[in-house]
Structures are given as C-alpha cells and as structure tokens.
C-alpha cells in the first residue's frame, strides 16, 4: 500500500502574525517557517501504518516555492521514503492544491492520501475534501483514530457532537485532527540518512491543471480588539460585577 502525505510550508505556529500597517498583507518576511502542524500528524500516521506493516511506501508532497524543499527534507528525516516538490511562485488556494494532488494521484495511484485538516495560515479546511471530490473517493475528515484492515479503513472522526466512526473503502482521502497522534522528533542521524532519499521537483505549470485560485483578497485588517476590562479583587466583587451586568 502506498500513502501520499501533503506537507504545507507555513509560518511557524509560535510566530504571532500581524497585519501590515497599509493593509496589503501580513508581515511574515523572515518569519520562521515550518511544516503545518496538522500535516506532521498526517505524516506520523502514515509512518505508523508503514511500521505496522500496513503500508510499504510513504511519499511526501509539498506545493510552493523552491524553499518548500525544506519541508520535504523534514518529512524525509521523519521517515518518508521519497519526496515530490510541486514548484510554483506565490500562494495557491485549496482548489488548486486539490487539483495538483489529483494529478499526482493519477500518476502515483496511492491507496490513501492523508492531509492535515487545515493549514494554520489560511485556516481554510478544504483541500482533503476537495481532493476526495475530484477523485470521487471516500473522505474521512478530522480523524482521531485510523485503523486499516485490507481494503477498508475504519476512521474515528472528531465531530461537534462527539466521535463518529466511518468505514471507507480504499482508496480514500483522510484529513487528520490534533488528537490522532504525537509526531516523532527528528534525530540527527535521521537527517543524515534522509540526505540520500529521492527528491523530485515538478513545475506546477507542467501539470496542465486549471487554476482554482478564484478568490481575490482585497484587504487585510487586524481583528477588532476587545476593550481591556476591570480586575476585581475578590469573589464578592466578581459577583457584584456580574450582577451589575445582569448576568447573574
């Protein structure tokens, strides 16, 4: 079984992103870049399936600028077998990403595609669902548990009402949630070992896909600020303050 995993290059989650004063975008030049945290969880799950003998190959894919090869490097150091960089300048939107993955799936024929449920930059939460739609495959989103048995995956999903379990025939597309696993740390020997792993670069333009970047962003604004409130000194004061607001 082959598993394809997407690794998006995003501003590291520890960076506090701010809007540029002129509203033209966010100030992220020079910010620390990392693999989207959900994508690391996706990769960890793929590696565990391989280690459990359920999968034979894990291929990591990143789409973006040449520097996305750093995220491929991270994926290979974590343990993926090979990497594919689909190179393009500038940001792409989820529909384009899904079309790129669909193109790669046609070529690679993976049994599972595992993606993060959302990227922490655009917070769109779309690519896995869109890919499943384009491939006419099952989708199991927001996975917190994945069990593969032959040609079927049993996936527990984190939904608002609680935990939903689905059974999907493979091939299928999964998106993963936070509680699925804790990604492994990379050790130095892993980085050395990864140096010789195969890396392929494909120009996005050469894939012949129609752009799905339909949304034009016309303005960036900082979020509306809440006014700082009052500090009360004890519980009776807190109760009085709540009563004054008519909340108790």
Q: Looking only at residues 179 through 208 of this chain, which bind other proteins when binding is defined by CB under 8 A? A: 179
b/e string for 177-198 if b means 16 or more Cβ within 10 A? Answer: beebbebeebeeeeeeebeebe
DSSP SS3 for 163:
strand
Q: How far is the CB of 148 from other proteins (least distance, A)?
A: 15
Pull the structure tokens for residue 238: 């807190």
Pairing type for strands 162-169 and 33-35 reads unpaired
> Residue from 22, 30, 196, 226 that binds other proteins (CB under 8 A)?
226
Nearest to 17 by CA among 26, 8, 29: 26
| Closer residue to other proteins, CB minimum distance, 9 or 157 | 157
DSSP 56: S
Q: How far is the CB of 220 from other proteins (least distance, A)?
A: 5
Q: How far is the CB of 164 from other proteins (least distance, A)?
A: 5
DSSP SS3 for 134:
helix
Q: Which one of 40-48, 74-82, 188-196, 218-226 is the stretch in contact with other proteins (CB under 8 A)?
A: 218-226
What is the residue whose two structure tokens read 């690519």?
127
Residue 67 engages other proteins in binding (rule: CB under 8 A): no
Residues 130-149 interacting with other proteins (rule: CB under 8 A)? 130-134, 136-142, 144
Residue 52 engages other proteins in binding (rule: CB under 8 A): no
Residues 5-24 interacting with other proteins (rule: CB under 8 A)? 11, 16-19
């Amino acid at each position: 079984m082959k598993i394809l995993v997407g690794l998006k290059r995003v501003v590291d989650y520890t960076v506090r992103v701010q809007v540029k004063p002129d509203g033209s975008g966010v100030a992220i030049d020079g910010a620390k870049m990392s693999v989207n945290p959900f994508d690391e969880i996706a990769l960890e799950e793929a590696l565990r399936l391989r280690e459990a003998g359920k999968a034979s190959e894990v291929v990591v894919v990143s789409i973006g600028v040449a520097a996305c090869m750093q995220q491929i490097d991270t994926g290979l150091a974590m343990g993926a077998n090979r990497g594919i960089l689909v190179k393009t300048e500038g940001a792409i939107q989820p529909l384009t990403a899904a079309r790129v993955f669909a193109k790669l799936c046609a070529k690679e024929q993976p049994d599972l595609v595992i993606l993060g449920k959302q990227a922490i930059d655009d917070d769109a939460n779309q690519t896995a669902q869109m890919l499943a739609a384009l491939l006419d495959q099952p989708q199991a989103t927001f996975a917190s548990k994945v069990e593969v048995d032959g040609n079927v995956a049993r996936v527990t999903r984190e939904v608002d009402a609680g935990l939903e379990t689905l059974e999907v025939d493979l091939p299928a597309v999964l998106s993963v949630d936070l509680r699925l696993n804790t990604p492994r740390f990379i050790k130095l020997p892993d980085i050395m070992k990864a140096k010789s792993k195969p890396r392929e670069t494909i120009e996005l333009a050469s894939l012949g896909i129609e752009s799905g970047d339909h949304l034009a962003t016309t303005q960036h604004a900082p979020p509306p600020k809440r006014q700082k409130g009052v500090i009360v000194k004890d519980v009776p004061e807190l109760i009085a303050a709540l009563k004054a607001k008519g909340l108790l």
